[in-house]
Amino acid sequence: MPAPAPDLLPPWSTPERQTILAEARAFATDVVLPTANAHDRDEAAMPAELLQKLAEHGYFGITVPKKYGGLGLGVFEYCMIAEELGRGWMSAASLIARAQGLATTFADPERTERSRRRSARGEWIGAAAFSEPESGSDLGSIETIAVRDGDGYLISGTKRWCGNAFEGDFILVMCRIVEPDGTRGPVETFVLEKARNSFPIGVTGSPIDKIGYNGIVSYDLELRDVRVTDADIAEPFGFSGAEGRGFRAVENGLNVARVHTAARAVGLARAAVEDSISYLQKRVQFGQPLGDFQALRFEIADMAAQVAQARAFYQQVAHLMDSGIGCEREAAMTKLLSTEMCVDVTGRALQLHGGNGYTRDFPIERYWRDARLTTIFEGTSEIQKKIISDRILPRVAR
Ligand SMILES: Cc1cc2nc3c(=O)[nH]c(=O)nc-3n(C[C@H](O)[C@H](O)[C@H](O)COP(=O)(O)OP(=O)(O)OC[C@H]3O[C@@H](n4cnc5c(N)ncnc54)[C@H](O)[C@@H]3O)c2cc1C
């Protein structure tokens, strides 16, 4: 049988990008996927050796400028690598987003420089405590407060879904400033720096019993009078792709997170297609491999086309971002389409595996469980639709 045609190279492909892609693909195949297959069912944090290897490849500092020891690459390369890691284990592709200069922009330039260098080395991997039991899509309604007290603040409140809170090097807490007289001020993000495998003083947490997204433990957190100062306030997102390309950090950080999620979803869906191809070639029914049945061949063709389409879109949006073009609407569009595609494709892949798809003997069940999350976190599909429609369908004044 002739070897399958190699993937076509897109026009934005460069020799450097091809090398980065090949390295990430080899790493995902040789290290990430076997680790996921061995440890996903532990329902524990991913092994420290995997973090170490991710750090050695520089994957925690892809977008950290070279002057801080990072790879100094853009959103395009960040997403391309995330797709490859996501093909192996979505949680690994997610964990790298907890670095990349996250929470490294402080008022103190020395602290900024120190934390950026740590971020590049994979020694500043954090947790984002934004969501609360009563505030998910509507983060403007958060109730965690930082009450001014002397020359600092005392943070109190309840957070939900805080992934990596115990395992990480810091927790980035979003809360509302409140003056001693009860006046409510702006929302700020404070960094609680800490040792790995501990909670900061004043914080307690308990793991949430999830159905997937293993390898990252998500916590309910209680914060009681956690002392912080103005020096602990940090801009949540570090870089707008490569430095100096001119976006406001927060806005662009959210957009980057959406494109990164689209890339993770493409990686996960690709895993489902690749595993299905291999399964259909091996499994024989009615005296022939399943892969010879036209209906199933067309199913694979359809799924593969959807994956290729979603990849082309996220790469286009990443390229626009790296070119300094604001594309909030497109970032929401690619997140929406990729993640919905991922749910669809992984479900169809499970079906192609028949009864075996409904077991834990094949990784397809992990892809299917993890895919289900992609339309929920980083802003649900409905919230992406809200962002898109608010930008293209102005409400008529009444
Ligand atoms: C496994 C996992 C990991 C997570 N990790 C983190 C983390 O590390 N840090 C963190 O801060 N958060 C994290 N989250 C939280 C995640 O961001 C929220 O779950 C998500 O934003 C949705 O919020 P919610 O769950 O409160 O749903 P809700 O906001 O209550 O929404 C419920 C439903 O209503 C819909 N809806 C809400 N508002 C509207 C509207 N205006 N119009 C139409 N439909 C609407 C939603 O789309 C959804 O279908 C995580 C969540 C999960 C499940």
pLDDT for res 43: 85
Helix (H, G, I), strand (E, B) or coil at 180: coil
Averaged in consecutive runs of 10 residues, what is the pLDDT profile of the chain (398 residues)? 61 88 97 97 95 98 97 96 98 98 95 97 97 95 96 98 98 95 94 98 98 97 98 76 39 87 98 98 98 98 98 96 93 98 98 98 98 97 97 92
Residue 306 confidence (pLDDT): 98
Q: Report, at the CATH architecture level, how domain 249-392 is classified.
A: Up-down Bundle (1.20)
Measured distance CA(69)–CA(111) in Å, rounded = 15
Do the Cβ atoms of 381 and 261 come closer than 8 Å?
no
The greatest distance separating any two alpha carbons of the chain, rounded to the nearest whole angstrom, comes to: 79
Q: What pLDDT is stored for residue 9 in this prediction?
A: 67
Please report the pLDDT score of residue 259 as a whole number: 98
| d(CA 137, ligand 1 centre) in Å | 5
Task: Say what the pLDDT of residue 248 is.
Answer: 40
Domain residue limits, the chain: 15-121, 126-232, 249-392
- Give the number of the atom of ligand 1 that is nearest the alpha carbon of residue 383: 47
* Separation between Cα atoms, residue 85 and residue 237, nearest integer Å: 21
| 380 ligand 1 Cβ < 6 A | yes
Q: Cα of 64 to ligand 1 centre, how many Å?
A: 28
Taking only Cα atoms into account, the Rg of the chain, rounded to an integer number of angstroms, comes to: 22
Per-residue pLDDT at 7: 66
How many angstroms is it from 139 CA to the middle of ligand 1? 9
Please, what sign has the CA dihedral across residues 310, 312, 313, 315?
positive
Which tokens sit at 78? 């960040």
Q: What is the CATH number of domain 15-121?
A: 1.10.540.10
- CATH class of segment(s) 126-232: mainly beta
Residue for token pair 């740590």: 118
Other CB atoms within a 10 A radius of the CB of residue 309 amount to: 13
pLDDT in tens, 296-333: 999 999 999 999 999 999 999 999 999 999 899 999 99
* Cβ atoms within 10 Å, residue 319: 18
Which residues have a Cβ under 8 Å from the Cβ of 305 and sit 6 or more positions away?
Answer: none
